[in-house]
């Protein structure tokens, strides 16, 4: 009698075939020769090929699997980068003397995120945004339902300040894999409307922001109807 493979056995075999080590310097373009007061980053965290339950996955992404197990891995979706390679990115070279870094993280990468922010020349301050995805995934301890956007500081908080009433909690249903709520970048823009801003590892192209990453579209997305945004923002993609 033929032994029936478990979902984990099927997944692990597929993960070994798909995973690649992705040195950041071989994939991404150089950082811009410009200083920014606001840096917004969603690092492509590497999970070591570990299984992630992903209810948003479509069945076509599980082609080749013998079971419909609704699982995925971040590195099935896009190139992930290990922490030691992320540290090599010279973010301090584009940070103004007074600069804030907003960085997305997940529970398993919370300590790594603080370590990475410090390696980039920043001091961890607090949690800027908590995203309630309105749906949960299985977890080892409690059901996972949120992601965090941390804020780090170099020097002082950039001035002039804008809005002071931006709420920390954002409750929006999750979209496609790794897609973040637009309300976060909208909130940051309201808080700091006049500062030079850049999004690292960007997948969208927001008006008023420079962008750096692998998947940046040409068309701009309007965030706010403000006249202070520069029309000459920089798009840096490879």
**Structural domain for 175, as ranges:** 7-237
pLDDT of residue 210: 95
pLDDT tens for residues 119-148?
A: 999 999 999 999 999 988 777 788 889 999
CATH of the domain at 176: 3.40.50
pLDDT tens for residues 21-51?
A: 566 777 788 999 999 999 999 998 876 655 4
Give CA–CA dist 208/228, Å, rounded.
8
The answer to whether residue 64 sits within a structural domain is yes
The answer to whether residue 184 sits within a structural domain is yes
Q: Is pLDDT of 198 > 70?
A: yes
pLDDT of residue 28: 85
Q: Report CA 24 to chain centroid distance, whole Å.
A: 15
Q: Is pLDDT of 225 > 70?
A: no
What is the pLDDT confidence band of residue 72, given thresholds at 50, 70 and 90?
very low
Q: Is pLDDT of 16 > 50?
A: yes
Residue 62: closest CA among 205, 51, 95: 51
Angstrom distances, CA of residue 68 to CA of 7, 8, 59, 170: 9, 12, 7, 32
pLDDT of residue 230: 42
pLDDT of residue 38: 98
Q: How many domains does the chain have?
A: 1
The answer to whether residue 2 sits within a structural domain is no
């Amino acid at each position: 009698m033929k032994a029936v493979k478990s979902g984990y056995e099927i997944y692990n075999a597929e993960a070994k075939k798909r995973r690649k080590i992705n040195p950041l310097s071989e994939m991404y373009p150089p950082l811009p020769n410009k200083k920014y007061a606001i840096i917004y980053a969603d690092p492509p965290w590497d999970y070591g090929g570990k299984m992630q339950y992903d209810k948003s996955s479509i069945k076509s992404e599980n082609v080749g699997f013998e079971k419909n197990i609704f699982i995925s891995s971040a590195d099935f979706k896009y190139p992930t980068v290990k922490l030691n390679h992320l540290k090599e990115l010279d973010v301090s070279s584009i940070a103004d003397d007074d600069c804030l870094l907003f960085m997305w993280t997940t529970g398993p990468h919370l300590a790594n995120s603080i370590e990475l922010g410090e390696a980039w020349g920043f001091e961890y301050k607090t949690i800027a945004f908590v995203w309630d995805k309105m749906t949960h995934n299985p977890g080892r301890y409690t059901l996972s339902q949120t992601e965090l956007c941390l804020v780090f500081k170099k020097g002082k908080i950039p001035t002039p300040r804008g809005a002071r009433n931006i709420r920390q909690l954002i409750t929006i249903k999750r979209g496609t894999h790794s897609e973040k709520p637009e309300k976060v970048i909208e909130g940051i823009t309201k808080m700091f409307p006049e500062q030079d801003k850049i999004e690292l590892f960007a997948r969208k192209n927001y008006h008023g922001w420079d962008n750096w990453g692998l998947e940046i579209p040409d068309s701009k997305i309007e965030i706010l109807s403000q006249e202070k945004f520069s029309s000459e923002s920089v798009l840096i993609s490879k």
